[in-house]
Amino acid sequence: MNKTSLLPIAAMLALMPRSAPAQDARQIMIEVQNRTRSQTEYYEGSLEVINSNQKITKKRWRYDRLGTYGNSKSALRFVAPAEVKGVALLVINHPDRSSDEWMWIPAQERHRRIAMQDRSTRFFGTDFSFEDLEERDVDQYEYKLSGDDTVDDAPCWKIVSHPKDGKASQYTSSFSWVRKDRFFLVRTDNFNKDRLIRQIVYRDVESIDGIWTARTVAVLDKSRNSQTLLTLDKVKYNLPMRDADFTRENLSK
């Protein structure tokens, strides 16, 4: 084979999207985390909860995160409507154990801890649970490739995961769809035994500060037939943030 005949092949290879070779499922998830890793994250979110009667309630919150997967702190503060302004949630994620969560209610002027037993309950009437607001660290789960699939015409790996011993979770297993071209998580189906509890879909993906970001997160609660749409605005990464901003005392500010 002469060089002339190799050229089209080389050109074709150069034009193909870069992707790491398909290794095991855990490697894929590590890559997913790596590609969305940032020191800090900030966004303002609009939340729409649509219940089974198609009634819509809207809220807005502000989200700050410091740290990376499994070792991060995040603060979520409601900014609208007026009745809920100031209600806040602080989540401190640990790599080796379950996260700590506290809530601040301005009118009561006190913090309240969200107990582990309550993590499976709905977060303030949305279809997220408190557990869904924690960050999943790859070391807390066992992963296995389940095959290939497509989501919105994009080829994806389908990975099944189970929480390891010591990781308390309401979900006994989850299926995750990861786009092969971007190593980006586009959908998660969370199960308790054989029952699908929640489906989370990440849409309107765009690159912000070099990090692929889903601008719309849709959570569907199958048992309640209700849906929550979170739209992220003003997303920024790696802004300077202080550790002191992520304390219970600071929640009230």
Partner 1 sequence: MILLRLISWQYVRQHRLRSLLTTIGIVLGVGIFVGMHAAGASVLSALSTTIDRIAGKTQLQITSGEAGFPEEVLERVQSLREVAVAAPVIEAVVRSGVEREGNLLILGVDMTGDRSLREYDLEAGDQDIVDDPLVFLAQPDSLIVTRDFAQRNGFGVASKLTMETMEGERVFTIRGIMRPGGLGAAFGGNLGVMDIYAVQKFLGRGRRFDRIDVRLKDEHSLAEGQAALSNALGPGFQVDVPAARNRQFDSLLHVYSFMVNLSSLFALLIGLFLIHNTFAIAVSQRRSEIGILRALGASRRQVLALFMTESAIIGLVGSAAGIVLGSFIAKEMAGLIGNIMQAHYGIAERAHEVRFGAGLLAASIAMGMTTSILAALLPARNAALVDPARAVQRGSNQDISRGNSRGRSAAAGMFALLAVLCVFMGHSQVVFYAGYLSFVLAALLLAPTLSVWLSCSLRPLLTAVQPFEGRIAADSLIQAPRRTSGTVAALMLSVGLVVSMGGLSRGTFESVVDWVSSFLNSDLLVLASEDGTNRSFHFPDSVTASLASIDGVSDVQRMRSNKVTVKGASVLLVAIDMSTALARTSGRVVAGNFQQMYRLGAEGKGVIISENCGLLHNLGMGNTVEVPSPSGLVRLPVVGIVTDYLNQSGTVFVDYEAVYQPFWKDPTVDMYKVYLKQGVSEQSVKQQIQTKLSRQRRMFVMLNREVKARVMSNTRQWLGLSYIQIAVAMLVAALGIANTLLVAVTDRRREFAVVRAIGAFRNQVRKSVWLEATGLAAIGVTLGVAFGAIDLLYERQIVRHDYAGLTLNYDFPVLLVFLLGVGLIVTAWISCLAAAEMAARHSMVEALEYE
Binding region for partner 1 (CB under 8 A) out of 13-21, 50-58, 63-71, 186-194: 50-58
Cα 72 versus chain centre, distance: 13
Please state the closest distance from residue 88 (CB atom) to partner 1, in A: 11
- From residue 119, alpha-carbon distances to 64, 100, 107, 206 in Å are 20, 10, 23, 30
Tell me the closest approach of the beta carbon of residue 179 to partner 1, in angstroms: 33
Report the alpha-carbon distance of residue 121 to residue 189 in Å, rounded. Answer: 17
Question: For partner 1, what does the binding mask look like between residues 98 and 117, x meaning CB under 8 A?
Answer: -----x-xxxx-x-xxxxxx
| Among positions 42, 124, 175, 212, the unique one binding partner 1 when judged by CB under 8 A | 124
Nearer CB in complex with partner 1: 106/231? 106
**Residue 59 in the binding site for partner 1 (CB under 8 A):** yes
**50 lies in the site for partner 1, by CB under 8 A:** no
Three-state secondary-structure class, residue 116: helix
Structure-token pair, residue 236? 């920024």
Distance CA 9, CA 3 (A): 10
- The count of residues interacting with partner 1 (CB under 8 A) is 29
Task: State yes or no: residue 34 binds partner 1 (CB under 8 A).
Answer: no
Applying CB under 8 A, among 224, 234, 236, 253 the residue interacting with partner 1 is 224
Q: What is the DSSP letter of 9?
A: H
87 touching partner 1, by CB under 8 A? yes
Q: Quick one: which of 59, 8, 69 has its CA closest to 38?
A: 69
Q: Closer to partner 1 at the Cβ: 26 or 167?
A: 167
Phi, psi dihedral angles at 106 (to 5 degrees): -55, -45
Residues 176, 185: contact at Cβ < 8 Å? yes
- Quick note: the x/- pattern for partner 1 over 176-205, rule CB under 8 A, is ------------------------------
Phi, psi of 36 (to 5 degrees): -115, 15
Convert 169-206 to b/e letters by CB count within 10 Å (16 or more is b): bbbebbbbbbbbebbbbbbbbbbeeeeebbbbbbeebe
Contact with partner 1 (CB under 8 A) among 19, 23, 52, 238: 52
20 makes contact with partner 1 (CB under 8 A): no
Instruction: Tell me the window of 80-88, 148-156, 183-191, 205-213 that interacts with partner 1 (CB under 8 A).
Output: 80-88
User: Toward partner 1, which CB reaches closer, 197 or 232?
Assistant: 197
**CA pair distance 88, 253, nearest whole angstrom:** 10
The distance of closest approach from Cβ of residue 176 to partner 1 in the complex, given in angstroms and rounded to an integer, is 26
Per CB under 8 A, residues contacting partner 1 are: 51-52, 57, 59, 78, 83-84, 86-87, 103, 105-108, 110, 112-118, 121-122, 124-125, 130, 223-224
